[in-house]
Amino acid sequence: PRTIDVGAAAAIRSTREAARWRKLAGAAVDLWESNEFSWSVIYDSTCAFRISPLYRTVFVTPVLDFADFTARLEPVSGHLEGFAIVDRAGRFEDEPAWLRDAGVSYFAEPGMMQSPPLEWPHGGGAFLNRLVACG
């Protein structure tokens, strides 16, 4: 793992403290964390999509149904490229179409997001198109 610089450590600390304070205020939030800043898991039953401060900091949020799912992701529609989802109950069989419309071009199993295929059209394919044009 990469060394975490002061700015990243501050962002992780801020995210953790926000979760802690929300829990103290009675929100349905749980936090699991390493002693240093190597990983954080925040379970938040009510949050919309949030940007992680990275460094293995993840948010886990259950959704009730497809309408709840799309409402929580609507603020970032058009800004998503890769997506991992666990749906063992098969409630989101239509999600690839909605997510593709929201800009997602890469679907991965959880834990595999960091290993996209070489032909993945990251950024809508602009980078690949430049490479092909130069070749």
Global pTM reads 0.69
Cα separation, 4 vs 17, in Å, equals 18
Burial 26-40 (b: 16+ CB within 10 A, else e): eeebebebeeebeeb
**Residue 42 · residue 27 · CB < 8 Å:** no
Q: Pairing between strand 106-108 and 40-44?
A: unpaired
Tell me if residue 15 falls in helix, strand or coil. Answer: helix
Q: Counting Cβ atoms within 10 Å, is residue 63 exposed (0-12), middle (13-18) or buried (19+)? A: middle
Per-residue pLDDT of the chain (135 residues), as tens digits, is: 678 889 989 999 999 999 999 999 999 999 999 988 889 999 998 887 777 787 888 888 888 877 888 888 888 887 778 887 777 777 777 667 878 887 788 888 877 877 888 777 776 666 666 666 765
Q: CA triplet 131, 122, 93: central angle to 5 degrees?
A: 145
